[in-house]
């Protein structure tokens, strides 16, 4: 069953294999008349791109986005926006040797079980490269949200066992996140994270971590209980990103060890507005946004590609064997997941704002 479309009013369809001709996305349901250029998209794609630092794989993905439809004279038409990025500099040779030997922790094995016939080159559809479409679509959602006062912030809060322990302000995140290769907004912690990541990498290994995304300025009333609750769709969106193994809203797992008197955010008046004094709920109660910042975290598993030898099965001969991957891989994927998680949160929120009448589709006419 086709599962490559996301969203209800704002609908995103991605396509493309890592080493295929190109990769792309169709974004349907964007209100007409919104200014949009390739530069708006390119900016976000450049954040996602590998080869940005010593901490990312050096594959040179130029990733020039081309808008093929849906924009005319610098403004959206209300018709589907099709975007394409050519795949260049792909080297499929290393994958020939292991094409019948699924890499542990990768989707290779599962794709083989599901589809039988697979594109083994560079992970095919299951590769991190698939997120190009998500980020391009997210760039449009972010622009639409920004025009309605909503800001999305993402940052790495833990990597290789090194965690940010204090609460960071939006101002700190905005200022610091792009200043260090870990996209950690606490610069001191960022340095230690980087060291820990490189230490594992030197050992032929990889590390995991935790990424946080927040949305500020989100109107109250988003979310469609009981199944299409805002948190349920945020969880769906974030869990659909490769390598994500947990989604936490607000205080997340900490709730399990709280008492009710501690967990319940008191309701108070601030400047004539009804708000919660604290925000352990992460901006969502009963699946509906309260007007407080939306806060979600994701646990990211270590990059499955490591250079240590690993046990697997040669599916062609049905015999156990060992593989050792060659090349340089992202030793920690958190910094590159930051823009992807931001994109997914932006898509969910833009969709929900349209559903809830908080974005008027006729707004830019």
- Span 129-148, contacts to a second copy by CB under 8 A: 130
> Considering only residues 147-186, where is the footprint of a second copy by CB under 8 A?
158, 161
Cα separations (Å) of 241 from 108, 126, 277?
Answer: 16, 10, 32
**Binding-site member from 50, 181, 287, 339 for a second copy (CB under 8 A):** 287
Distance CA 262, CA 268 (A): 16
**Binding-site member from 245, 324, 326, 327 for a second copy (CB under 8 A):** 245
Give, to the nearest 10 degrees, the angle between helix 38-48 and helix 334-355: 140
Report in angstroms how near the CB of residue 148 gets to a second copy at its nearest. 14
* By CB under 8 A, residue 293 contacts a second copy: no
* By CB under 8 A, residue 237 contacts a second copy: yes
Strand partners, 273: 270
Report in angstroms how near the CB of residue 171 gets to a second copy at its nearest. 26
* By CB under 8 A, residue 261 contacts a second copy: yes
Strand partners, 158: 163, 210
The 77-116 site mask, x for binding a second copy (CB under 8 A), equals xxxxxx-x-----------------x-xxxx-xxx-xxxx
Nearby residues of 151 by Cβ (< 8 Å), 6 or more positions away: 145, 170, 215, 216, 217
Report in angstroms how near the CB of residue 277 gets to a second copy at its nearest. 8
Helix (H) or strand (E) holding 300: strand 294-300
> Considering only residues 266-285, where is the footprint of a second copy by CB under 8 A?
266-269, 272, 274, 276-277, 281-282, 284-285
The single-letter DSSP state of residue 337 is H
The 55-74 site mask, x for binding a second copy (CB under 8 A), equals -----------xxxxx-xx-
* By CB under 8 A, residue 206 contacts a second copy: yes
> Considering only residues 28-57, where is the footprint of a second copy by CB under 8 A?
28-29, 32-33
Burial of 6: CB neighbours in 10 Å, binned 0-12, 13-18, 19+: buried
* By CB under 8 A, residue 251 contacts a second copy: yes
* By CB under 8 A, residue 350 contacts a second copy: no
Cα separations (Å) of 157 from 29, 100, 283?
Answer: 33, 37, 19
Whether residue 312 contacts residue 102, with contact meaning beta carbons closer than 8 Å, is answered with: yes
């Amino acid at each position: 069953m086709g599962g490559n479309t996301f969203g209800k009013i704002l609908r995103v369809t991605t396509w493309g294999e890592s080493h295929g001709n190109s990769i792309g996305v169709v974004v349907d349901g964007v209100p007409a008349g919104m200014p949009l250029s390739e530069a708006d998209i390119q900016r976000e794609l450049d954040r996602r791109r590998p080869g940005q630092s010593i901490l990312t794989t050096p594959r040179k993905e130029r990733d020039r986005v081309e808008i093929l439809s849906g924009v005319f004279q610098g403004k959206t038409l209300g018709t589907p926006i099709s975007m394409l990025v050519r795949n260049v500099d792909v080297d499929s040779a290393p994958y020939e040797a292991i094409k019948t030997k699924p890499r542990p922790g990768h989707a290779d094995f599962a794709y083989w079980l599901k589809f039988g016939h697979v594109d083994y080159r560079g992970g095919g559809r299951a590769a991190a490269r698939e997120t190009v479409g998500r980020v391009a679509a997210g760039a449009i959602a972010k622009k639409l949200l920004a025009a309605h006062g909503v800001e999305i912030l993402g940052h790495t809060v833990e990597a290789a066992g090194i965690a940010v322990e204090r609460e960071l302000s939006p101002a700190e995140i905005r200022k610091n996140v792009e200043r260090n290769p870990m996209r950690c907004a606490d610069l001191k912690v960022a340095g230690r994270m980087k060291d820990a990541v490189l230490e594992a990498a030197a050992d032929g290994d990889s590390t995991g971590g935790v990424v946080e995304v927040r949305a500020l300025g989100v109107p109250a009333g988003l979310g469609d209980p009981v199944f299409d609750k805002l948190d349920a769709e945020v969880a769906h969106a974030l869990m659909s990103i490769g390598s994500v193994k947990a989604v936490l809203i607000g205080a997340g797992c900490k709730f399990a060890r709280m008492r009710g008197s501690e967990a319940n955010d008191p309701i108070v008046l601030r400047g004539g507005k009804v708000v919660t004094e604290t925000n352990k709920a992460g901006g969502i109660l009963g699946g509906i946004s309260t007007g407080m910042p939306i806060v979600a975290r994701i646990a990211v598993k270590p990059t499955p590609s490591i250079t240590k030898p690993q046990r697997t099965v040669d599916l062609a001969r049905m015999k156990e064997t060992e593989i050792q991957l060659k090349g340089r891989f992202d030793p920690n994927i958190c910094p590159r997941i930051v823009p992807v998680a931001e994109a997914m949160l932006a898509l969910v929120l833009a969709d929900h704002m349209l559903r809830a009448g908080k974005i008027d589709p006729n707004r830019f006419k």
